[in-house]
């Protein structure tokens, strides 16, 4: 018996190694040629000043593979770099000064700030570490799923098959380059394994497994995507109630408490930050966009489970389906889908139940609309298409059971029935391609549809024949491994073709290169901010990678006050009434607004010549020009005349009043006692230390003065004068003010 166990463990190591090799083959462009699985080709191909820097070699712009997946270079990568840079300096940065004129960093869950694999960024250069993080997603998700399926008594090959189906499924490929969504889910199979062991009365290490469950759930949270973390947690709870409900209700309560304690102790530091930040954001006030196109999966898009590119592909610039391709594709391979159908049985009803329930709430239907019509808290703010992660995961487990059944107990008739069903679906799709008017298919898309049906059809025919042959010869054991391996190989080829088509592998020189304008800005004395007048110039958050502060930002969570302020600036009037129309991306472009000087915007990047407006051109790079803004205010300054107002509209009206003088006056939302006399040259503000979450000043005044600091006013900031705590007042609608007494003082602003 012991020798048999050792043999099983050895074979498992071999298959884990085999899966690692399969993942390596998918990333061969990285391993062999040094290409990065990062959409940085879209950064240099779509945006200036990068296009300008490469204009000589590429007059029409650098070709890029996939315009759809620019979010990783505009969100996840800059945020991760900002936080890991602070770790390299031996501290944990809580504040992000680079976007929205400052915003919380640790409270931004998508920064993945506390994810354990961030240790890679301390050991390797950033681009290499990010690449390893991306590769870790299919690798770890597949290994954990393989181990879980082996625990469920499935054979090596079926377990390997299930791991391949999920690791390279439509959801996994669509969100691979984000580095957060798959990372949040990949811990789920490890947690399921832990749950099974916790409720195994014969297991002597149940407490250890309780800790593993807690650590896995915490890692899922830290990975950086709250919605996927929520889905994972709900999935684990349902799994526990389905398979272990009696033990869950009657025994081992201390096990639950242990796991929960581990989770809450680990996630508490970041969770408290998120809870504190969320009420201050516009997300709390924004109504759900559930009636918008593409919020749910249209019924017709279910054909992408059979033919992922039926509606084209953004990588080939011919996608004609609804909204976002990545939100619609749940492909697990034709072979994977076929075997998932075969895997349905009394033993796998939980997985079928999860597929059906997830589809009910993901596909556009009255059932899916219900949570949004009822305005259910939290649920009604989630994008239901992300339920594809549960669907693909459950289908992959069913596929593993299906392959196991093929080589074990399944009858020829059942397999033939499901092959026939899938065959009929393909026939219908082909019929639609030849009779497009009956199905409402645009005539100009017919050739595309026919072309993109060929590969799924070939894969289906090959997989179906292999399955029938496998069932026919299953009594001849010597053929089983070979035929099973052929089925797996067919699926690997199918999923790799799909994955390689969508995923960019880019040259390292495209990874956030430095241009003439960027280099110039990096060399200027800090602090200052920039703004852009065109969406095609230095997109929001990209400036963060270079340590350049901006008034722009791209994040689902940002200050509701800041959104109102930016809207008033863009409108050129004191109008702060919703809707504002920013939709997560906030880029004020009005350089003539009287609010501009308050932002500490020193430099403006534009395609238009702003010289006639009083802006001074300092640099040109291709079509992009860099200007110094006139009358910009420093980051911190003393004012003569604080104006006390509380009402938001009254404050904005005052800021837009032609009589209001920025730098001389300031609107403060609390009555402060100062002496209204002109400033003298001996009254100064000197920045002694400027860091992400701490600013130190030396301030000299002749009378009590209001010190205005144009950083976003957000709870968590604390002020100290000569090391003694003092109040911070909201000033000029969104910024900070501190009352400084007469004399020379040290003033410290610290975010914690």
- 642 vs 250: which has the higher pLDDT: 642
Is residue 570 pLDDT above 60, yes or no? Answer: yes
- 255 vs 279: which has the higher pLDDT: 279
Three-state secondary-structure class, residue 262: helix
Q: Tell me whether residue 471 is exposed, middle or buried, using C-beta atoms within 10 angstroms of its C-beta: 0 to 12, 13 to 18, 19 or more.
A: buried
Per-residue model confidence as pLDDT tens digits over 193-215: 999 998 888 888 888 998 899 99
Averaged pLDDT for residues 402-415: 77
- 256 vs 35: which has the higher pLDDT: 35
Averaged pLDDT for residues 346-362: 96
Eight-state DSSP code of residue 573: S
CB distance 42 to 70 below 8 Å: yes
Is residue 285 pLDDT above 60, yes or no? Answer: no
Per-residue model confidence as pLDDT tens digits over 683-716: 999 999 999 899 999 999 999 999 999 999 999 9
Please report the pLDDT score of residue 3 as a whole number. 45
Please report the pLDDT score of residue 409 as a whole number. 61
Is residue 252 pLDDT above 70, yes or no? Answer: no
d(CA 197, CA 208): 9
Is residue 300 pLDDT above 70, yes or no? Answer: yes
Q: Tell me whether residue 700 is exposed, middle or buried, using C-beta atoms within 10 angstroms of its C-beta: 0 to 12, 13 to 18, 19 or more.
A: middle
Mean pLDDT of the chain: 92
Is residue 276 pLDDT above 60, yes or no? Answer: yes
Please report the pLDDT score of residue 7 as a whole number. 53
CB distance 707 to 738 below 8 Å: yes
Task: Count Cβ atoms below 10 Å from residue 571 Cβ, excluding itself.
Answer: 15
Please report the pLDDT score of residue 206 as a whole number. 86
Please report the pLDDT score of residue 256 as a whole number. 66
Please report the pLDDT score of residue 4 as a whole number. 44
Per-residue model confidence as pLDDT tens digits over 518-527: 999 999 999 9
pLDDT > 70: percent of the chain: 96
Which residues have a Cβ under 8 Å from the Cβ of 675 and sit 6 or more positions away?
703, 704
- 616 vs 406: which has the higher pLDDT: 616
Is residue 284 pLDDT above 80, yes or no? Answer: no
Please report the pLDDT score of residue 231 as a whole number. 96
Three-state secondary-structure class, residue 364: coil
Helix/strand/coil (H/E/C) assignment for every residue in 411-469? CHHHHHHHHHHHHHHHHHHHHHHHCHHHHCCCHHHHHHHHHHHHHHHHHHHHHHHHHHH
CB distance 109 to 225 below 8 Å: yes
Q: Per-domain residue ranges for the chain?
A: 516-628, 636-751
Averaged pLDDT for residues 80-103: 93
What pTM does this model have?
0.94
- 376 vs 1: which has the higher pLDDT: 376
Task: Count Cβ atoms below 10 Å from residue 510 Cβ, excluding itself.
Answer: 23
Averaged pLDDT for residues 263-279: 89
The residue count for the chain: 752
Q: Which two tokens stand for residue 14?
A: 């071999």
Nearest to 304 by CA among 226, 362, 225: 362
Per-residue model confidence as pLDDT tens digits over 511-546: 999 999 999 999 999 999 999 999 999 999 999 999
Nearest to 348 by CA among 276, 382, 396: 396
Please report the pLDDT score of residue 476 as a whole number. 61
Averaged pLDDT for residues 155-183: 97
Is residue 149 pLDDT above 80, yes or no? Answer: yes
């Amino acid at each position: 018996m012991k020798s048999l166990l050792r043999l099983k463990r050895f074979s498992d190591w071999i298959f884990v190694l085999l899966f690692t090799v399969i993942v390596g083959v998918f990333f061969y462009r990285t391993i062999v040629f040094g290409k990065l699985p990062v959409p940085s080709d879209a950064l240099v191909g779509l945006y200036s000043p990068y296009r300008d820097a490469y204009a000589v070699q590429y007059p029409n712009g650098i070709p890029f593979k996939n315009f759809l997946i620019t979010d990783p270079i505009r969100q996840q990568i800059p945020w991760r770099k900002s936080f890991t840079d602070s770790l390299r300096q031996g501290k944990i940065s809580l504040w992000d000064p680079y976007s929205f004129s400052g915003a919380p960093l640790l409270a931004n869950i998508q920064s993945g700030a506390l994810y354990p694999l961030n240790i890679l960024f301390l050991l390797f250069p950033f681009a290499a570490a990010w690449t390893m993080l991306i590769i870790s997603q299919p690798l770890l998700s597949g290994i954990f799923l393989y181990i879980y399926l082996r625990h469920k008594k499935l054979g090596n090959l079926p377990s390997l098959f299930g791991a391949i189906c999920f690791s390279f499924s439509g959801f996994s490929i669509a969100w691979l380059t984000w580095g957060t969504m798959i990372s949040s889910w990949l811990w789920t199979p490890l947690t399921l394994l832990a749950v099974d062991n916790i409720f195994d009365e014969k297991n002597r290490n149940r407490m250890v497994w309780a800790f593993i469950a807690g650590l896995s759930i915490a890692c899922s949270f830290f990975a950086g995507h709250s919605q996927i973390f929520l889905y994972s947690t709900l999935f684990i709870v349902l799994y526990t109630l389905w398979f272990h409900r009696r033990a869950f209700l009657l025994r081992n309560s201390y096990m639950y408490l242990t796991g929960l304690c581990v989770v809450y102790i680990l996630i508490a530091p970041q969770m408290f930050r998120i809870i504190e930040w969320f009420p201050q954001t516009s997300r709390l006030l924004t109504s759900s966009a559930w009636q918008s196109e593409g919020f749910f999966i249209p019924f017709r898009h279910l054909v992408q489970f059979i033919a992922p590119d039926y509606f084209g592909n953004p990588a080939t610039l011919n996608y004609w389906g609804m909204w976002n391709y990545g939100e619609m594709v749940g492909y697990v391979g034709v072979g994977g889908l076929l075997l998932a159908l075969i895997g349905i049985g009394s033993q796998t009803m939980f997985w079928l139940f999860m597929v059906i329930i997830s589809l009910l709430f993901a596909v556009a239907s009255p059932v899916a609309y219900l949570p949004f019509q009822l305005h259910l808290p939290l649920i009604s703010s989630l994008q239901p298409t992300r339920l594809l992660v549960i669907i693909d995961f459950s289908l992959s487990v069913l596929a593993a059971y299906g392959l196991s059944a093929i080589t074990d107990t399944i009858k020829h008739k059942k397999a033939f029935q499901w092959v026939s069903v899938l065959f009929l679906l393909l026939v219908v799709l082909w019929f639609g391609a030849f009779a497009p008017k009956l199905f409402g298919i645009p005539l100009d898309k017919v050739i595309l549809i026919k072309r993109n049906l060929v590969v799924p059809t070939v894969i289906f025919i090959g997989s179906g024949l292999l399955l029938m042959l496998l069932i026919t010869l299953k009594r001849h054991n010597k053929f089983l491994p070979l035929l099973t391996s052929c089925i797996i190989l067919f699926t690997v080829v199918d999923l790799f073709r799909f994955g390689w088509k969508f995923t960019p592998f880019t040259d390292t020189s495209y990874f956030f290169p430095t241009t003439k304008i960027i280099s110039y800005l990096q060399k200027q004395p800090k602090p200052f901010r920039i703004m852009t007048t065109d969406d095609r110039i230095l997109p929001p958050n990209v400036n963060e990678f270079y340590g350049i502060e901006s008034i722009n930002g791209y994040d689902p969570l940002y200050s509701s006050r800041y959104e109102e302020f930016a809207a008033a600036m863009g409108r050129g009037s004191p109008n702060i009434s919703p809707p504002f129309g920013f939709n997560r991306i906030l880029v004020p472009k009005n350089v003539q607004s009287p609010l501009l000087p308050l932002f500490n915007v020193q430099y403006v990047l534009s395609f238009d010549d702003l010289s006639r407006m009083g802006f001074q051109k300092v640099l040109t790079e291709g079509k992009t020009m860099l200007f110094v803004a006139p009358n910009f205010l420093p980051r911190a300054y003393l004012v003569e005349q604080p104006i006390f107002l509380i009402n938001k509209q009254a404050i904005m009206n005052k800021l837009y009043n032609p009589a209001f003088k920025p730098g001389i006056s300031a609107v403060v939302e609390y009555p402060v006692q100062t002496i209204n006399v002109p400033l003298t040259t001996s009254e100064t503000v000197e920045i002694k230390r400027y860091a992400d979450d701490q600013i130190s000043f030396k301030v000299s005044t002749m009378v009590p003065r209001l010190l205005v600091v144009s950083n976003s006013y957000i709870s968590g900031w604390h002020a100290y004068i000569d090391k003694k705590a003092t109040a911070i007042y909201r000033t000029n609608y969104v910024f900070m003010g501190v009352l400084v007494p007469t004399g020379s003082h040290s003033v410290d602003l610290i975010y914690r």
